[in-house]
Amino acid sequence: MEYLLNITRQTRENFIRLIESSTVEELNEIPAGFNNNIIWNFAHIVASQQGLCYRLANVPLVVEKQYILPYTKGTRPEKFIGAEEINTIKELMRSTITQLEQDLDSDKFTAYHTFKTDYGVEIKSTQEAVQFFVVHDALHYGIASAIKKVINNNK
């Protein structure tokens, strides 16, 4: 599990570098052909991890709902996200993995509501959710990287 969490940390650090190399305007831009933006993809990772690991295990979320609800599956950017909220989401990117590791080590997750992802993968435990969101995080980092390239090409 430690190896998977380290992959997740690295993906998130790569994503943070992408965020830090972008303007607030670029993070909020939705280029033609896309239905979301870089910052939505960034925050979506945090929101998804909370749902997959905590909500489905019936364990209290460690992130305030204001950083989850606007970024869950099926949502799209509805407002401009400013620098202060972006910085908070950056902090959550790191702290949620550290907290998850502590919660896994303390056996906080004892039950789980089985969930079938859009990938067609059935998740039956928080440990399986961790395995899945390694792929999920990388997917959204890739989407955000593609959005950044389109934005840069349109300048």
- pLDDT tens per residue across span 13-71: 999 999 999 999 999 999 999 999 999 999 999 999 999 999 999 999 999 999 999 99
Give pTM, 2 decimals: 0.94
pLDDT at 154: 83
pLDDT at 103: 97
C-alpha 39/C-alpha 21 separation (Å) is: 12
Average pLDDT over residues 77-100: 97
Average pLDDT over residues 138-155: 94
**Average pLDDT over all residues of the chain:** 96
Question: In 21-125, which residue ranges form alpha helices assigned H by DSSP?
Answer: 24-28, 38-49, 83-105
pLDDT at 94: 96
C-alpha 38/C-alpha 29 separation (Å) is: 8
Confidence of residue 138 (pLDDT cuts 50, 70, 90): very high
Confidence of residue 117 (pLDDT cuts 50, 70, 90): very high
pLDDT at 40: 98
Q: Which of 138, 20, 141 is nearest to 87 (CA)?
A: 20
